[in-house]
């Protein structure tokens, strides 16, 4: 099973309905916004993994803190709004993957999904542990190799963007929000190391 399938399998109708109730949105808008948020998170992780030391830091974090078990209680995670300890702390994950760009990403997703900024900001910490949990699940099942990770993250982000009808979102996030490419030595480049060292 590939990463996008694992992520999408977590977002069943019941889960989307529950998330929608939590953030005050209908299921369809929630689904579209969720794809946008996951695209942004995957793009952020891919950007970080391309920085010096970022890839090994991410793999270390998966081995230490993200074994995929957070996926065993998605409803509990939603009920807590993504607030938890360790692997389930959505705000902590967001802070390190997107840094101070969380509101900019939320604005991008808001414009494309029709949800307001407040709704997207509530959605993001719910989804962040799910994204890390899906990566951890692949890692713990032996389906994730270090050298494959940057390509996997970027490819999955591209597929997620296309599925959501948000083909321009990934470029916007990587270019305008994250700075894109390997030229970004500060800002987000060092954040993954801060989280995962």
Residue carrying structure tokens 């009920």: 79
Please say if the pLDDT value at position 27 is more than 60: yes
Instruction: Tell me the average pLDDT across 53-76.
Output: 88
Instruction: Report d(CA 185, CA 66) in Å as an integer.
Output: 26
Both structure tokens of 163: 């599925």
Report DSSP state, residue 173.
Answer: I
Percentage above 70 pLDDT, the chain: 88
Most confident of 105-109, 143-147, 157-161, 188-192: 105-109
Please say if the pLDDT value at position 25 is more than 90: yes
Report DSSP state, residue 175.
Answer: I
Instruction: Report d(CA 59, CA 7) in Å as an integer.
Output: 18
Distance of CA 107 to the CA centre of its chain: 16
Instruction: Report d(CA 25, CA 118) in Å as an integer.
Output: 11
* 20 phi, psi to nearest 5 deg: -60, -40
Instruction: Report d(CA 146, CA 4) in Å as an integer.
Output: 18
pTM, 2 dp: 0.85
Distance of CA 16 to the CA centre of its chain: 16
Domain count, the chain: 1
Instruction: Report d(CA 71, CA 67) in Å as an integer.
Output: 9
Give me the chain's average pLDDT, please.
83
pLDDT of residue 146: 79
Instruction: Tell me the average pLDDT across 100-126.
Output: 93
Centre a 10 Å sphere on the Cβ of residue 124 and count the other Cβ atoms it contains: 29
Instruction: Report d(CA 109, CA 30) in Å as an integer.
Output: 11
Instruction: Report d(CA 187, CA 127) in Å as an integer.
Output: 22
Report DSSP state, residue 178.
Answer: S
Residue 181: which domain range? Answer: 3-196
CA trace torsion 111, 13, 124, 142 (10° rounding): -120
* 53 phi, psi to nearest 5 deg: 80, -10
Please say if the pLDDT value at position 178 is more than 90: no
pLDDT of residue 82: 80
Instruction: Report d(CA 178, CA 175) in Å as an integer.
Output: 6
């Amino acid at each position: 099973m590939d990463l996008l399938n694992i992520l999408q399998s977590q977002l069943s109708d019941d889960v989307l309905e529950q998330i929608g109730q939590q953030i005050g949105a209908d299921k369809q808008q929630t689904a579209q916004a969720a794809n946008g948020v996951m695209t942004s998170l995957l793009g952020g992780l891919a950007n970080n993994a391309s920085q010096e030391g970022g890839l090994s830091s991410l793999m270390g974090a998966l081995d230490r803190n993200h074994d995929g078990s957070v996926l065993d209680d998605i409803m509990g995670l939603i009920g807590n709004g993504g607030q938890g300890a360790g692997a389930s702390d959505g705000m902590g994950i967001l802070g390190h993957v997107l840094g101070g760009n969380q509101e900019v990403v939320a604005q991008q997703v808001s414009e494309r999904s029709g949800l307001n900024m407040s709704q997207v900001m509530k959605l993001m910490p719910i989804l962040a542990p799910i994204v890390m949990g899906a990566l951890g699940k692949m890692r713990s099942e032996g389906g994730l190799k270090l050298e494959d990770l940057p390509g996997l993250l970027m490819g999955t982000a591209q597929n997620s963007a296309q599925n959501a009808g948000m083909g321009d979102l990934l470029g916007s996030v990587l270019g305008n929000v994250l700075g894109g490419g390997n030229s970004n030595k500060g800002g987000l480049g060092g954040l993954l190391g801060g989280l995962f060292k």
